[in-house]
């Protein structure tokens, strides 16, 4: 899987549940790709920050 595709699925995962097939594809890619692991961590941090912001409103 290309990184661009993996990143799309990582973003999709933040909004909705991935199919089992998509999940295993992403996980396999994440195991061997540090760039996408970093990307997922950043995305999770960003989403948590957004979530915190909402709770303050």
Yes or no: say if 51 and 27 are a contact pair by the CB < 8 Å rule.
Answer: no
Element (H, E) at 55: helix 34-56
Please list every residue from 1 through 57 that binds Zn ion, using CB under 5 A.
Answer: 3, 6, 33, 35-36
- Rounded to a whole number of angstroms, the minimum distance from the CB of residue 26 to Zn ion is 10
As measured in angstroms, the least distance from the Cβ of 43 to Zn ion is: 13
3-state secondary structure (DSSP) of residue 1: coil
**What's the min distance (Å) between Cβ of 39 and Zn ion?**
8
Q: Given the rule CB under 5 A, which residues bind Zn ion?
A: 3, 6, 33, 35-36
């Amino acid at each position: 899987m290309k990184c661009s595709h993996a990143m799309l699925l990582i973003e999709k995962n933040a909004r909705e549940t991935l199919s089992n097939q998509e999940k295993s594809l992403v996980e396999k890619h994440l195991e061997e790709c540090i760039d996408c692991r970093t990307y997922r961590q950043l995305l999770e941090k960003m989403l948590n920050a957004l979530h915190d912001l909402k709770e303050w409103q």
